[in-house]
Amino acid sequence: MRISTSQFLGMNVQTMDNQQSQLSEYYAEISSGVSLTTPSDNPLGAAQAVQLSMQGATLSQYSTNQSSALTQLGSEDSTLSSVLTTLQSVNTQLLSAGNATLNDTNRSAIAVTLQGLSSSLMTMANTKSPSGDYLFGGYQASSQPFSLTSAGTVTYNGDGGVSSTQISDTTSVATSDSGDSVFMSVTPETADPVAYATAGNSGTGVIGAVSTSNASASATGDTYGITFQVTGGVTTYTVSDTNSTGTTTSAAQPYTAGSAITLGTSGQSVTVTGTPGNNDSFTVQPATQVPQAQGGTSVFATIQNMITALQTPADTPASLAALQNTLNTGLTQIANTLSNVTTVQATVGGRENQIQAMQTVNQNQSLQNTNSLSDLTSTDLASTISKYTQTQYSLQASEQAFVQVQQMSLFQYLNQ
């Protein structure tokens, strides 16, 4: 096959152009550190790089979510610790208020202290998160959840919603707890039954805390009523057992102050001290069923009942017994609230641990993703510099050969 001079020259020029282009590409890779700048450089690698970039963006967003959720839960955890400290102070004040040596002035001073502690609790219940939302407002996080009515009672204005944050492809975590579940409720599984006296009792009978050998039965159990009768100087009592099927009443039993009174078959018992009057009565029922008049499950209503009782003069044996009954009831309810808040805080801690564990996983995945993306797109400097040098030598050789070949012609040969 014959090759014309123009073809031969064109082929050499094209070869040198290709080598120069290759040199430019190698130089760009070396100077930028990026080996994959356009999909045409490596179509399969480009597709993988896009996928890895998307995955990296997703992991980055999860990392942001995890940090935000951890901050939110950390704020709640800290607030709940303060709540527990305040509730323990309330408990201490109630114990001291039961001292028989105190007078009305002393008890009024304790009532003032309790009022301050209740105000502190309300401030904590209205705590805002670092993002500016209320921690315990449920889905109504932009509105103050707790407020004081003109009657002096605390009401909850939020809802039972629980916000959550997605922290991985398959996991979301609750980042809040409603104020209703923290301050206005108790945990049925751990709450002790509440014993309280009927308003208007005329005697000096004081009911103590409930003892139980079957906590699960007590939490969802029956309501018991203890009624005393005094006939001819002899005091007896009957126990009524109310449940979903109706009410049954036991036969009259002789009363002995301080002796255990058995309540049904649920393993519960209670003691009554002092001298109950005729028709005096007491009630024992699950904490979740206590009526609002006795504070219900609201810690604010419970404390307010204690304040009212301490501000009421107790200058007769019957009024002193009524005060002690109220304090005993309040102590049980505060203990139930303490247990409830402790349970909530434990779940918050569990969620914090879950997020921290997921942060470790996310960091490892992000590092692996970054390394994989770097392997696809970063320049292998040693290899690329070697190729650049080889191509540069080849180009120099081509240029020198082209100069020699360009000078070859018949006329030059004849002139020699």
- Supply the CATH number for residue 185's domain: 1.20.1330.10
Both tokens assigned to 410: 């018949």
Q: Of 72-81, 146-155, 213-222, which gets the smallest average pLDDT?
A: 213-222
- Looking at the structure, do residues 159 and 129 belong to the same domain, yes or no? yes
Both tokens assigned to 394: 């080849």
Both tokens assigned to 7: 């073809």
Residue 4 resides in a domain: no
Residue 49 resides in a domain: yes
Q: Of 52-61, 62-71, 167-176, 370-379, which gets the smallest average pLDDT?
A: 370-379
Say whether pLDDT at 135 is over 80. yes
Mean pLDDT over each residue of the chain, to the nearest integer: 84
Domain region containing 264:
192-285
- Looking at the structure, do residues 99 and 163 belong to the same domain, yes or no? yes
- Looking at the structure, do residues 71 and 201 belong to the same domain, yes or no? no
Residue 23 resides in a domain: no
Percent of the chain residues topping a pLDDT of 90: 62
Residue 405 resides in a domain: no
Q: What local confidence, expressed as pLDDT, does residue 45 receive?
A: 47
- Looking at the structure, do residues 205 and 131 belong to the same domain, yes or no? no
Cα–Cα nearest to 225, from 237, 234, 214, 211 = 237
Residue 30 resides in a domain: no
Type and span of the H or E element at 287: none
- Looking at the structure, do residues 88 and 144 belong to the same domain, yes or no? yes
Residue 335 resides in a domain: yes
Q: What local confidence, expressed as pLDDT, does residue 15 receive?
A: 64
Cα–Cα nearest to 128, from 166, 170, 71 = 71
- Let me know how many helices (H) and strands (E) the chain has, helices first: 9, 14
The amino acid sitting at 304 is Q
Q: What local confidence, expressed as pLDDT, does residue 106 receive?
A: 96
243 three-state secondary structure: strand
Q: What local confidence, expressed as pLDDT, does residue 25 receive?
A: 61
- Looking at the structure, do residues 173 and 60 belong to the same domain, yes or no? yes
Residue 20 resides in a domain: no
Both tokens assigned to 267: 């393993």
Per-residue pLDDT band for 282 (boundaries 50, 70, 90) equals very high
Say whether pLDDT at 382 is over 90. no
| Residue 333 contacts residue 290 (beta carbons within 8 Å) | yes
Say whether pLDDT at 87 is over 90. yes
- Looking at the structure, do residues 298 and 250 belong to the same domain, yes or no? no
- Looking at the structure, do residues 278 and 129 belong to the same domain, yes or no? no
Q: Of 43-47, 148-152, 361-365, which gets the smallest average pLDDT?
A: 43-47
The pLDDT of 78-107, averaged and rounded, is 96
What's the angle, vertex CA 201, arms to CA 200 and CA 207, rounded to 5? 130
- Looking at the structure, do residues 177 and 105 belong to the same domain, yes or no? yes
| Residue 348 contacts residue 177 (beta carbons within 8 Å) | yes
Domain count, the chain: 2
Q: Which among 285, 313, 334 is the end of a domain?
A: 285
Q: Which residue has the higher pLDDT, 405 or 182?
A: 182
Q: Which among 243, 263, 285 is the end of a domain?
A: 285
Q: For the segment 27-59, what is each residue's pLDDT rounded down to a tens digit?
A: 555 555 555 455 545 554 455 555 656 777 887
- Looking at the structure, do residues 99 and 225 belong to the same domain, yes or no? no
Per-residue pLDDT band for 14 (boundaries 50, 70, 90) equals low
Say whether pLDDT at 394 is over 70. no
Residue 89 resides in a domain: yes
- Looking at the structure, do residues 212 and 335 belong to the same domain, yes or no? no
| Residue 158 contacts residue 134 (beta carbons within 8 Å) | yes
Q: What local confidence, expressed as pLDDT, does residue 267 receive?
A: 86
- Looking at the structure, do residues 86 and 125 belong to the same domain, yes or no? yes
